[in-house]
């Protein structure tokens, strides 16, 4: 069963000022079925929130940690939860 979930991921490394949020949105749209956002944090990390089928969220998480992203990802921390809703699509904040 591929239930809907909420993924919150914090990506650290050189991930601001390199188009990371834009490419994260593009990847989420390419995977499909995801709603949420990517946002820069004051400490240099990017926060990614994605809601949708678990398999699609796992694909996005795999991409975030793959090294095939802009900049340089030093690590990704994630938590899983139940979806809260309220997102129209996948945005850049």
93 a catalytic residue: no
Distance separating alpha carbons of residues 1 and 46, to the nearest angstrom = 30
Q: Taking CA 6 as the corner, what is the angle to CA 72 and CA 59, rounded to the nearest 5 degrees?
A: 50
Distance separating alpha carbons of residues 78 and 9, to the nearest angstrom = 4
2 a catalytic residue: no
Catalytically annotated residue among 2, 6, 14, 21 = 21
Catalytically annotated residue among 6, 12, 25, 40 = 40
Cite the active site residues. Answer: 21, 40
């Amino acid at each position: 069963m591929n239930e809907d979930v909420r993924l919150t991921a914090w990506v650290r490394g050189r991930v601001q000022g390199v188009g990371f949020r834009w490419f994260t949105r593009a990847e989420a749209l390419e995977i499909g079925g995801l709603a949420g956002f990517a946002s820069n944090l004051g400490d240099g990390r990017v926060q990614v929130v994605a809601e949708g089928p678990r398999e699609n969220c796992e694909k996005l998480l795999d991409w975030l940690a793959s090294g095939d992203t802009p900049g340089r990802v030093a690590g990704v921390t994630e938590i899983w939860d139940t979806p809260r809703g309220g997102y129209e699509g996948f945005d850049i904040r």
